[in-house]
Amino acid sequence: MSFEVPKVVPLTCHGHSRPVPHISFSSIVEDDQYYLISACKDNNPMLRDGITGDWIGTFMGHKGAVWQARLSADANIAATAAADFSAKVWDTHTGECLHTLQHFHIVRAVAFPIQSNPQVLATGGMEKKLRIFDLSRSDSGSTSGASATPAAEGSGGSSINGTGSATSYEIGPGVHGGTIKSVVWNQDYNILTTAAEDRKIRWWDLRSRHPVAEHNVEGTIGSCELNMLATRPNDPGILSVAAGKSVYLFDGTVPGRLLKKVDFRYEVASVAVNNDTGRFVTGGAGEDTWARVYDLHTDDELEVQKGHHGPIWSVSYSPDGKLYGTGSEDGTIKLWKASREPYGLWR
């Protein structure tokens, strides 16, 4: 008899007024505490307590839909990618904007290195360019709202007009054949992964600035995330990609190494993996707006979570794997209990 988690009511996080394209947890910061950030098309990314979903603050300043939002491992800073042609870096304690990183088109993706206290940020979007910004090199320090411009082509990283506060350089000019929808920083600091609308997953080496591996997927890419649990030291992690009606799971440490591909009868918008419990969760697109839990080893469907009223664009496990969050077109975030024992507000 397979173990089943008793049905419990999810926590619903309200506050956004438009679709939520991305949610992301911090690592465990202290005393089992961690945080959740959400990107939203209402221009206003939000920070929450990761365990309870309680609202902590809203980052005000973007003038367009926010497509992706991420926290540094220690949750001291946040980064957001937006349709106003900018990425922003925020102080999560004060809500202050530390950097505005100007681009020439919509920014869809941001990524910090996994290490704490990151000094760099990777961005990607409709420019089809993977950029690395150095947040430590600035003319004026990390002043409130400091702006920065992308580096001119071949300039080696100086700002176009000389007034930017963070220099940047591009990785692999001309390689991406479509909008970059996700950027993931790997455990190896020198390796980044991009997922683009040309249906290719690419692994890049920062030292050579060239791809070291690539994999073609069938169908439009929905999500691409590195799944690692803070409770598993030396966890290699699994890179999970949702594309079309399939989920692709890659080795978290070996670029391009496909562990398995799982095919479904429905469109998959998002996926998250919990290697500890041997589970993965998919978020449906199109007509199927449910979250489904599967056995990682047998691919058997274990649970169907109903509650959202629109496609689930983002799924993410908490850093301890005890719950997972879903962000939907319906403008809500839901937190679902994923552990047998009492946890958080389900005590």
Q: What is the DSSP string of 41-53?
A: TTS--EEEETTT-
pLDDT value, residue 286: 79
DSSP state of 7: P
DSSP per position, 65-128: -EEEEEE-TTSSEEEEEETTSEEEEEETTT--EEEEEE-SS-EEEEE--SSSS--EEEEEETT-
pLDDT value, residue 335: 98
pLDDT value, residue 157: 34
Cβ–Cβ < 8 Å for 36, 329: no
* 3 state DSSP class of 334: strand
Cβ–Cβ < 8 Å for 101, 82: no
Cβ–Cβ < 8 Å for 222, 269: yes
Q: How far apart are CA 347 and CA 49, in angstroms?
A: 16
pLDDT in tens, the chain (347 residues): 455 555 789 999 999 999 999 999 999 988 889 999 999 999 999 999 999 999 999 999 999 999 999 999 999 999 999 999 999 999 999 999 999 999 999 999 999 999 878 999 999 999 999 999 999 876 433 333 444 444 333 333 323 222 245 788 999 999 999 999 999 999 999 999 999 999 999 999 999 999 999 999 999 999 999 999 988 878 889 999 999 999 999 999 999 999 999 999 999 999 999 999 999 999 999 788 899 999 999 999 999 999 999 999 999 999 999 999 999 999 999 999 999 999 999 98
Look-up of token digits 């304690």? 93
Cβ–Cβ < 8 Å for 301, 291: no
Structural domains in the chain, CATH included, are 11-346 (2.130.10.10)
Q: Which of 323, 329, 327 is nearest to 315 (CA)?
A: 327
Cβ–Cβ < 8 Å for 22, 46: no
Q: How many CB atoms lie within 10 A of CB 274?
A: 22
Exposure class string for 86-122: b at 16+ Cβ within 10 A, else e:
bbbbbebeeeebbbbbbbeebbbbbbbbbeeebebbb
